[in-house]
Structure 1
Amino acid sequence: MEQKLEQIDKTVEVEEPHPTHSFVWCFQGKFTSFTCDKARTVEDSLKRSPRFGGIAKKYKDKELVVLRDGKAISSHFPCSLIKDERLTVKYVKAVDKTNQPGRGSGPPCRKGSPDDLVMFHVLTKGGKDIVQIMRNPELRKVVQEMTVYAYKGEKVKQALRRDGRFLNIVFKKNCGLSHIVTEVDSEMSDLVDHLDGTTYKIILLNKCLPESQQSSLEDDNKISNVSKGFDHDENQNASQQPTTTVSVNDAPERKTKPAPELFFLDMPESEKLQRKLFLQFKHLMKGKESVARLSSIQNRLRVDYGKSAETCREVRTMKKLMGLSDSVCQVRVNGSPLGSGFLLFGNFVLTNGHVVEDLNKENIGLYVHKLTVHFSFESLDQVETGQEFVVEEVAGSEYCSEQMHDWALLRLRANLKLPDCLLTQFGYCPQSNGVCIIGHPDGGMKKIDPCFVIPPDKRIQAVEKDFYKNKGHVQLVTPQFFEGVAESVQRHAQVVMYNTCFYSGSSGSPVFDDQCRVVAMHSAGYKYPGARGETRSVIEFGYRLSDIMERIIIQLVERRRWDVLKAYLACSFEHQQNVMINVRKLVQSRNITAFTDVISGSEARNDESLKKFFAFFSQTEDPAPMDTE
């Protein structure tokens, strides 16, 4: 037994190599950089700095608080999760510094890559009947949220125990996590895998549940010794706590008879069953009241989406988006708002085809009606005084809802200085993560809405979630409407889908990813009237900018709009070569003869940029990058 403990101690002391990474830490406005190439905790990494050593000695009677992105992380937080970031070091009054389970040195208790870890965030203030949840209440004075790390495959309770900053009442009572936006609950026995990147509040699930029954629901046998070290009462002496960090796999088996367990297993083909239950929902739930809380089984059968506290939240990201928002405009006809748009290249604004459809149908539309765009409508007093740019023509457009083509290119009269074009910020659509939409919803002032991209394999769950959530409020919409939406979102997998509050008037708004690249154009949603006549929407979508650019180029060539094509070629951007290659593949696969006839002809060969353009499409293999300058 002693040999085994010695072996464990040696394992703990070994610093596990990992890829080199750097971060900056700040104390009282002074910044210090640190580069790490070993697997350590964040406190151990800081201790290697002589400057931090002097600070720690000065504040030895206080408790260390490390902030990452404004949230407090534990001192044993794995440093491998901190890459090219800035940490803020603070000290707060220590309630009982000799009994702080969250402190300690040494590498994390498990070996593995950062991919094996998840991070979720917890508010430092609990819900009703369990407001006080922190061992040190001073922490609430400096931070509202804290970050908890966990290993994939372990339970919520294990992660919170290891963290060490929570009162024991959190584990003694029947507590759980409640998503701060969707209010969907996660129990202590749930796995942590789906919590990554989300924010929760600790709540009391059922205060009437007897304490003996609460303990029977816990899977204490599988909690690591690290977690057990944090399970003592606050008044217990620290010397009685175990000092050796042991991995979960090395934890000795308990000899006592395990308490009876209540657990749930994932059902085979649960998603298929879920869709079937959804179609029968009207009949199964007829005459019944909606359930206030979802059971843990229901939680396993659905995925929830909502606003994230992390989405486009960094100040540097928001500052850059604010600068790019200068290129977003409101489209008006005779002074009345029609939709939104943005300067794409040169003096051409991109918006949705349905925004100008009626004007485009009329042969004299722009002669009778005044079509303008306004880039500076950001407050009510700018309605009349803001600069307006007159639209001279609709240089190109497509609007076919069945084929999901919906764009229009507006040429502006370039008599005033224009903002920067956004084609230089071109990017490809992410399958997940956050995006930001900037536009003029409801014909009002320019606004920004951060939201999440819903990947294709999760869209059905998003539709079902909206149906479950709003069933009691829907007056005039039948379940068949939601069934139609579910079928449509599956059929149109090529568009970008998300949940946003941008409805009428926001069509044509640019959609930015978390790197501030324009990846799509916001276009429409599946709307229905609410109980009070307000507009609701199940899910919203935008067309990928890459698809729109390919359609624009093909139409410009087919219609021989060399002036517009030259303006496009004059705007160089990072992925222009990839766009051109995709256009060529599209022309070849669909045998677009009108395009190839123009290429094989001798039109517009006097212009150098057009010569290079035609030469590119005449080649049969992928050439070197085309120089458009």
Structure 2
Amino acid sequence: MASEEGQGKTYHYFKRAILALYSDLKKQSAVIDELFAKAFAEALKQGKLNSAVFKLYRENFGKETKNSTLIKVHKRLGVLSDSGGFIEWANNGNDGSATCFVLRDKYVLTCHHVVGHIVGEGVEEKGWASIISHSARVTFSYEDKYPKENSWFSLAPWFEISDKHLDFAVLKLEGDRSLFPAGLVQFSYPLPFNGLIYIIGHPDGQAKSADGCTVVPVFKRKRECHCHIQRGQKGVCNNVKCGPEDRQCIHMFTQRSFQHVINNPNVVTYDTSFFFGSSGSPVFNADGQLVAMHTAGYKYKKNKQLHSIVEFGFSMVAILAAIKKNYKAWYEFELPSLWEDAGSCPGEHEDFTSAYTNDIEMETLE
């Protein structure tokens, strides 16, 4: 505590030798002393307590974006997370992992490009089923330590429902059905225009975790992408400085790089910390409804660290509409009549624009 004669003055705790190196600090301290002296004198004149001087410089700040979550949502997400699965594979030196989730009964949903990584390059899709069965397996209990052998489910030699444009694939589990987690398809819901979403998956092949992030609204997508580029380009990245090892640097992106995502009504865009291994993760809205499947993002390297411009997931409404249109018999037999009253699945007649460009790097291990 300062003595009475010392109140209203600033105090310095720097060593004098260090302080002498920075002459501007002395000037700034003189300015602060003057400001406090005026405020202190004014407070005395008005008969206020000395603490009023410091209250003048105290500010209560409010967050611009609300990201608090109701406890009931946490509880709901905790239950829904049981259906999120960890899929790993080992195929003749081709090892990797990703995320999936139970769609209904014995069927799980993941990304088409994930299955492509499982089977490897140069294999026609008609031969994928057998490779999937021999190379990959799924567990739903990877929440802390790596699961024991009896916690895994095999995959059947079955690959019949998929779509490259919407980047989804349905796989079939083998084993005791009573041990399979509940399906999430009945919780499907249209994409949110804004607000919070939650991604539950296995980023970097680690234990199951959840990431809460903010939706980038459609009308802000272009601006957000370009802002990320501008921040990444400040004196750091250019064609001259960046060598072959930095081929993913941000200068590879152009004004046209993001058109297929920016203008695509079948995706939700957001900013998440989930990168490799999280493809195939379920995406929930703030009410715990399944709105999308986390798919990919535009990544780049800056200062040898990985960054991302924007991430996106394909709408569950669009995915289910595509299944109903192209695999109607399977849809009607295996999935419930989700929109029976409406007569058709929302989005059934939408144009499923591909979100692939040469600039996209899918977020799975290679």
TM-score range, shorter chain: 0.5 to 0.7
* Deviation at residue 448 of structure 1 after TM alignment: 0.7
Q: Which residue matches 1:365?
A: 128
Match among 79, 86, 96 for residue 323 of structure 1: 79
Secondary structure of 1:507's counterpart equals coil
Q: Which residue matches 1:536?
A: 307
Change (3 A) 1:326 1:541: same
Change (3 A) 1:379 1:584: closer
Secondary structure of 1:535's counterpart equals strand
Instruction: Please give the alpha-carbon distance, in whole angstroms, between the structure 1 residues aligned to 2:251 and 2:135.
Output: 43
1:461 partnered with 2:211? no
Secondary structure of 1:554's counterpart equals helix
Q: Which residue matches 2:334?
A: 567
Instruction: Please give the alpha-carbon distance, in whole angstroms, between the structure 1 residues aligned to 2:348 and 2:182.
Output: 28
Contact 1:495 1:544 in 2 (8 A): yes
* Deviation at residue 548 of structure 1 after TM alignment: 0.4
1:550 partnered with 2:306? no
Unaligned runs of 5+ in 2: 1-9, 11-27, 36-41, 49-62, 353-366
Instruction: Please give the alpha-carbon distance, in whole angstroms, between the structure 1 residues aligned to 2:333 and 2:158.
Output: 17
* Deviation at residue 389 of structure 1 after TM alignment: 3.9
Change (3 A) 1:381 1:348: closer
Using CA pairs below 8 Å that are at least 6 residues apart, which structure has the higher relative contact order? 2
* Deviation at residue 567 of structure 1 after TM alignment: 1.7
Q: Which residue matches 2:110?
A: 351
1:421 partnered with 2:188? no
Change (3 A) 1:584 1:445: closer
Residue identity matched to 1:365 = W
Change (3 A) 1:408 1:442: same
Change (3 A) 1:548 1:312: farther
* Deviation at residue 320 of structure 1 after TM alignment: 1.4
Match among 168, 175, 182 for residue 407 of structure 1: 168
Contact 1:512 1:520 in 2 (8 A): yes
Residue identity matched to 1:411 = K
1:394 partnered with 2:162? no
Superimposed CA distance per residue, residues 258-304 of structure 1 (whole angstroms, 9 cap, x where no aligned partner)? xxxxxxxxxxxxxxxxxxxxxxxxxxxxxxxxxxxxxxxxxxxxxxx
Q: Which residue matches 1:82?
A: none
Superimposed CA distance per residue, residues 535-556 of structure 1 (whole angstroms, 9 cap, x where no aligned partner)? 2211000001100000011121
Superimposed CA distance per residue, residues 213-251 of structure 1 (whole angstroms, 9 cap, x where no aligned partner)? x9xxxxxxxxxxxxxxxxx9598469xxxxxxxxxxxxx
Number of equivalenced pairs: 285
Contact 1:456 1:490 in 2 (8 A): yes
Q: Which residue matches 1:378?
A: 143
1:580 partnered with 2:347? no
Instruction: Please give the alpha-carbon distance, in whole angstroms, between the structure 2 residues aligned to 1:516 and 1:527.
Output: 28
Change (3 A) 1:486 1:208: farther
Superimposed CA distance per residue, residues 538-595 of structure 1 (whole angstroms, 9 cap, x where no aligned partner)? 10000011000000111212xx44xx531203xx65x554482546656xx99xxxxx
Higher CA-based Rg: 1
Instruction: Please give the alpha-carbon distance, in whole angstroms, between the structure 1 residues aligned to 2:275 and 2:126.
Output: 29
* Deviation at residue 426 of structure 1 after TM alignment: 1.4
Instruction: Please give the alpha-carbon distance, in whole angstroms, between the structure 2 residues aligned to 1:210 and 1:461.
Output: 40
> Equivalences for 1:174-573 in 2 at 5 Å?
233=43, 236=46, 310-311=66-67, 313-334=69-90, 336-357=95-116, 359=119, 361-368=124-131, 369-382=134-147, 384=149, 386-400=151-165, 405-416=166-177, 417-472=179-234, 473-474=236-237, 475=242, 476=246, 477=249, 479=251, 481-532=253-304, 534-557=305-328, 560-561=329-330, 565-569=332-336, 573=338
Secondary structure of 1:367's counterpart equals helix
Instruction: Please give the alpha-carbon distance, in whole angstroms, between the structure 2 residues aligned to 1:579 and 1:410.
Output: 27
Q: Which residue matches 1:197?
A: none
Instruction: Please give the alpha-carbon distance, in whole angstroms, between the structure 2 residues aligned to 1:577 and 1:453.
Output: 29
> Equivalences for 1:82-231 in 2 at 5 Å?
none
Instruction: Please give the alpha-carbon distance, in whole angstroms, between the structure 1 residues aligned to 2:103 and 2:151.
Output: 21
Secondary structure of 2:280's counterpart equals coil
* Deviation at residue 478 of structure 1 after TM alignment: 5.1
Contact 2:111 2:280 in 1 (8 A): yes
Instruction: Please give the alpha-carbon distance, in whole angstroms, between the structure 2 residues aligned to 1:355 and 1:548.
Output: 16
Instruction: Please give the alpha-carbon distance, in whole angstroms, between the structure 1 residues aligned to 2:113 and 2:290.
Output: 21
Secondary structure of 2:167's counterpart equals strand
Contact 1:312 1:436 in 2 (8 A): no
Change (3 A) 1:516 1:581: closer
Contact 1:312 1:318 in 2 (8 A): no
Contact 1:525 1:540 in 2 (8 A): yes
Residue identity matched to 1:314 = L
Superimposed CA distance per residue, residues 163-193 of structure 1 (whole angstroms, 9 cap, x where no aligned partner)? xxxxxxxxxxxxxxxxxxxxxxxxxxxxxxx
Instruction: Please give the alpha-carbon distance, in whole angstroms, between the structure 1 residues aligned to 2:252 and 2:265.
Output: 21
Contact 2:203 2:278 in 1 (8 A): yes
Residue identity matched to 1:343 = V
Superimposed CA distance per residue, residues 302-346 of structure 1 (whole angstroms, 9 cap, x where no aligned partner)? xxxxx9874353322112111110000012223844321111112
Change (3 A) 1:455 1:235: farther
TM-score (norm: length of structure 1): 0.41
Secondary structure of 1:492's counterpart equals coil
Change (3 A) 1:308 1:320: farther
Instruction: Please give the alpha-carbon distance, in whole angstroms, between the structure 1 residues aligned to 2:156 and 2:317.
Output: 24
Instruction: Please give the alpha-carbon distance, in whole angstroms, between the structure 2 residues aligned to 1:446 and 1:210.
Output: 53
Instruction: Please give the alpha-carbon distance, in whole angstroms, between the structure 2 residues aligned to 1:509 and 1:489.
Output: 18
Instruction: Please give the alpha-carbon distance, in whole angstroms, between the structure 1 residues aligned to 2:161 and 2:274.
Output: 25
Instruction: Please give the alpha-carbon distance, in whole angstroms, between the structure 2 residues aligned to 1:320 and 1:486.
Output: 34
Contact 1:511 1:522 in 2 (8 A): yes
CA RMSD of aligned residues (A): 3.4
Secondary structure of 1:381's counterpart equals coil
Contact 1:312 1:514 in 2 (8 A): no
* Deviation at residue 530 of structure 1 after TM alignment: 2.8
Unaligned runs of 5+ in 1: 1-128, 130-206, 215-231, 239-306, 591-629
Change (3 A) 1:556 1:337: same
Q: Which residue matches 2:16?
A: none
